Chain A
């Protein structure tokens, strides 16, 4: 799955594995260029992956840039037929629903006028209205709400909920986090072509918001000093940290110059001494660098923890930033209900272990 030019290509989507159940409403969020639209095009069948497989069962309706199919020289009615047959509604289907479509798009007076005399809002409404009455099994919606006034956006959301309520699977791409949160039960967060998080709408949207805030906070505060931002600490799938699950610590470093440096983070119980530390040698570019540290299996029992961080120059002699806390998190974990409870609870780390007991041969 990649966009390819002759010598410079990059993966548009990598290592994305997911399954959407019939009737689910899934939101796709992420910054520009993270691969949301590519994923939608793959689902739609417009694009084919370089590697891997995409399977969609049922009739797909897509609402992707509604003005694409509209021809300016044709009237609204003619375009409705064209768009309807493109989306698989067929001529009869359009005829049967034309009144509803016209009413929804509020084009009663303009439907027989050439589309080149329409305002952009009217064109958008026509396109959305045709797609909205398709009744497909799967409806893919890509950032269409960006055009259109507030009242039409509201009606679009309303219509999408209706379509979803009637059993259609919905995949919605949007930067409007509130809309995503209200429409979808599950949200996928794509970042730089990877699936960063996949989980319940509220949690993933909250994590995304937090990450965006961290980024903008540092950018807004750029006074040329070396600084480490607060950290976002989540499970890799976006959920709350829990014992044995992979944990991701994300933070940013504002660097006044390009430099090699060593970055250390440590997880503590609140005070400076760490339970464990992670270190990396990184080349920081000038500006805001985003760092991500994934701990494969979080060895911490249930409790509250802090993350501390510091950075030194590449030989480790000069402190760029002192050891200081950058965030805290709670770990959910199994209740340590083994017999000597107090002992287990007091242990600093919890590790998975396999045991083997060799008993002496009996008799």
Chain B
């Protein structure tokens, strides 16, 4: 990505101006015209780099306090079938296959957003029956230690410890 594109991504995300002509303000910050900013944003949207111009809300439970992660141990040959089936349930918001380790054998992850444990447990049981996989665990998040917006194009100073 060019420097201007990187800076535009930052401006579009971090401090988007809540002004009558926000793209003109961004253009001033980047030294390009309002029309060029709008054209680039449309290009980003066409390419799927920008999914949407929108808002993230305080109570939008993308956070992890009200969600349950159900982890499954699925025989590798059944991953396709089970993954796609679990993904088809509306209650399931995310479904991933992930790496496993010796003492963490769960290879399929499902996230369900429901405020109450019992509901999550009930859904897990129903999903388990629907896909015929009995080896699963329901992990509830009990405390949120950090939730921040993604940090793109962080300038790495020389003195960074890592």
Task: Judge: A and B partners, yes or no.
Answer: no
